[in-house]
Amino acid sequence: MSVLIECVPNFSEGNDLQIIKQITDAIESVAGIKLLNVDPGKATNRTVVTFVGKPEAVVEAAFRGIQKAGELIDMRKHKGEHPRMGATDVCPFIPISGISMADTAHYALQLAKRVGNELHIPVYLYEAAQSNAARSNLSVIRAGEYEGFFKKIKLPEWKPDEGPVEMDAKRGATVIGARDFLVAYNINLNTTSTRRANAIAFDVREAGRVLREGNPITGKIISNADGSPKSLPGSLKCVKAMGWYIEEYGICQISMNLTNIAVTPVHVAFDEVCKKATERGLRVTGSELVGLIPLQAMLDAGKYFLRKQQRSVGVSDDELIKIAIKSLGLDELAPFNPRERIIEYLLNDGSQQPLIQLNLRAFVNETASESPAPGGGSISAYMGSLGAALATMVANLSSHKKGWDEQWETFSDWAEKGQYYKDALLNLVDEDTAAFNGIMAAFALAKTTDEEKKIRTDAIQAATKFAMEIPFKVMQLSFDSMSVIKAMAEIGNPNSASDAGVAALCARSAVMGAFMNVRINASGYSDKTFVNDLIQQGYALEEKTKALETEIVSMVNQKIGL
């Protein structure tokens, strides 16, 4: 697994595209990082930049971005709706893969030391990079903002963690840390009243609202026994929120940070704000994503809104994302392109899946060409995927069949399972071709010296084992998908019985075809114990598949009746 860290610096410039471009050019000048997103906001006068890479490269790229921002942005002239304290206001590191939060925090500390020592900018650490709990919350650190920090920085309890104990008039101060993935999310309201927007923000945010005597705005603050302000918690955990007016759009928004979308997902936050807005006579008109979002968050949102309609959730990722965009109103203020806003799509440019990126004609033509790949293994995987897809179609048709409303959830569950098998098998189309190419590459290795011969032999053996394991996965998944196919033959829409029958034929062919690939590659593998065990499993799976296919086809023929 690759070790990857994401970095999401927020720069205090959202209008001058030339300045923004110079900052991102500085970031991109570092080899080994990938710029994923640049999201400028005019009203906030702030740009959120997202890039990923190996830890050392991310540290260097972040340093260069902070350095360039300090050269180009003058905080003495900065105005914007968003709280801020420096040219680079905040610079978090987020673990993406192959790295712990503790190690991610270690790299944040490296960056903080460099910024403090080399750029002479005051630096505060936050969240996982901060050992002092009283100074770990970003909003607490930033309280007073740029204007108030000239005095705040002199207080003993607010001495910077790194850098000079002197506020830099031009560049301000910055906050560097490590945190979990955070979704910055704004919900649009049909009002221009910041006070009403803030009231809704206080209703939902975890911190809630401070309680006052009499007038909730001007009344005396009610204190706890220890003298701290007494508050009424909001309805959503792991949510920070405030209301603001965005002149660019002519509306107010609830600006939210969802700090743990496993606790409060985007769709739950959206619906809760809708509820609270309605209670206060307002209406939510849409929402806006700032930066990037994980794929699963969009899929979960799509499924959530489909379930509310009592519709099947066993549809493609593309359809789920479309439902999420429309339901959340993510395209109200500007077009929302999933390929530019979902982090997994940006990290995967499709280069690892060249076959399934092809259209049908191109795929068939590539199969028919003189190239040995794609071959029988990839075609077996594709047949298995088509079988699962047909079963999923029957489940979705049955879920939406008039008069079958009480059964929609049962068919939705089957369709969701079918989607899983379809996608898993589709991914194996390219995996099988990659396995074959791996064998060819191993055979092409040099074999002049004894050391080279050993390296080549080991590589051939490893590639051969992989080339057996992939089609065996195709066998297993194709057989498992027949549980969905059988269910649809039994209880699915009778008008689609033939589709379930064809699905069973596809699954059977996928299992038998994939097993041929297991066996042909097994002859070249030296571990005969492994080979014999795999072949025995394969024959058993093949026999079970044939029996199940016969059972399904018999059911289908009875329903067809001719």
Question: Checking phi first, is residue 140 left (phi over 0); if not, alpha (psi -120 to 50) or beta?
Answer: alpha
Identify any residues that bridge with 49 across adjacent strands, giving them in sequence order.
Answer: 38
Q: What is the pLDDT of residue 320?
A: 97
Which sequence spans correspond to the domains of the chain?
A: 4-178, 183-347, 360-560
Tell me how far apart the alpha carbons of residues 448 and 235 are, in angstroms, rounded to a whole number. 70
Please provide residue 524's backbone torsions phi and psi, each rounded to the nearest 5 degrees. -100, 10
Q: Which of 300, 430, 432, 499 is an active site residue? A: 432
Helix axes 266-279, 295-308, angle to 10 degrees: 50
For 213, what's the count of Cα atoms within 13 Å in the CB-facing half-sphere?
4
Superfamily of domain 183-347: Formiminotransferase, C-terminal subdomain (3.30.70.670)
CB neighbour list of residue 300: distance below 8 Å, 6 or more residues apart: 265, 267
Q: Which of 39, 82, 168, 430 is an active site residue? A: 82
Of 483, 527, 542, 512, the residue nearest 377 (C-alpha): 512
Here the tokens at position 518 are 């297991």
Length of the chain: 562
Distances (CA, A) of 521 to 372, 429, 432, 461, 530: 15, 17, 12, 10, 13
- Judged by DSSP in three states, 299 sits in helix
Distances (CA, A) of 424 to 348, 364, 537: 17, 21, 21
Q: What is the pLDDT of residue 372?
A: 85
> Sheet of 239-246: strands edge to edge?
239-246, 251-258, 183-189, 284-290
Q: What is the pLDDT of residue 519?
A: 95
Q: What is the pLDDT of residue 460?
A: 93
Instruction: Report yes or no: 261 and 181 within 8 Å, Cβ to Cβ.
Output: yes
Here the tokens at position 447 are 């074999």
User: Looking at 469-557, which runs of residues are DSSP E strands?
Assistant: none
- Please provide the DSSP assignment of 330-375 as one string: TTSSS---HHHHBHHHHH--STT-TTTTS-HHHHHHHHHSSSS-S-
Q: What is the pLDDT of residue 222?
A: 80
Work out the widest C-alpha separation in the chain, in whole angstroms. Answer: 90
Tell me how far apart the alpha carbons of residues 510 and 25 are, in angstroms, rounded to a whole number. 49
Q: What is the pLDDT of residue 103?
A: 95
pLDDT (tens digit, 0 to 9) for every residue of the chain, 562 residues total?
578 899 999 999 999 999 999 999 999 999 989 999 999 988 899 999 999 999 999 999 999 999 999 999 999 999 988 999 999 999 999 998 889 999 999 999 999 999 999 999 999 999 999 999 999 999 899 999 999 999 999 999 999 999 999 999 999 999 999 998 889 999 999 999 999 999 999 999 999 988 877 776 667 778 777 777 788 899 999 999 999 999 889 999 999 999 989 899 999 999 999 999 999 999 999 999 998 898 999 999 999 999 999 999 999 999 999 999 999 999 999 999 999 899 888 887 666 678 888 899 999 999 999 888 789 999 999 999 999 999 999 999 999 888 887 889 999 999 999 999 999 999 999 999 988 889 999 999 999 999 999 999 999 999 999 999 999 999 999 999 999 999 999 999 999 999 999 999 999 999 999 999 999 999 889 999 999 999 999 999 999 999 999 999 999 999 998 7
Tell me how far apart the alpha carbons of residues 416 and 399 are, in angstroms, rounded to a whole number. 12
Mark whether 82 is an active-site residue.
yes
Q: What is the pLDDT of residue 262?
A: 87
Instruction: Report yes or no: 133 and 46 within 8 Å, Cβ to Cβ.
Output: no
Of 210, 214, 208, the residue nearest 223 (C-alpha): 210
Q: What is the pLDDT of residue 76?
A: 95
Q: What is the pLDDT of residue 231?
A: 80
Rounded (10°) CA dihedral 314, 320, 322, 323: 80
Superfamily of domain 4-178: Formiminotransferase, N-terminal subdomain (3.30.990.10)
Q: Does domain 360-560 have CATH number 3.30.930.10?
A: no
DSSP state of 143: T
Rounded (10°) CA dihedral 488, 493, 499, 503: -10
β-pairing, 4-7 vs 88-97, is antiparallel
- Please provide the DSSP assignment of 181-239 as one string: --EEEEEEES---HHHHHHHHHHHSTT-EE-BSSSTTTSPBPB-TTSPBPEE--S-TTE
Distances (CA, A) of 246 to 139, 251, 346: 20, 6, 29
Here the tokens at position 244 are 């603001």
At 211, the amino acid letter reads: L
Please provide residue 424's backbone torsions phi and psi, each rounded to the nearest 5 degrees. -65, -45
- Judged by DSSP in three states, 242 sits in strand
Mark whether 480 is an active-site residue.
no
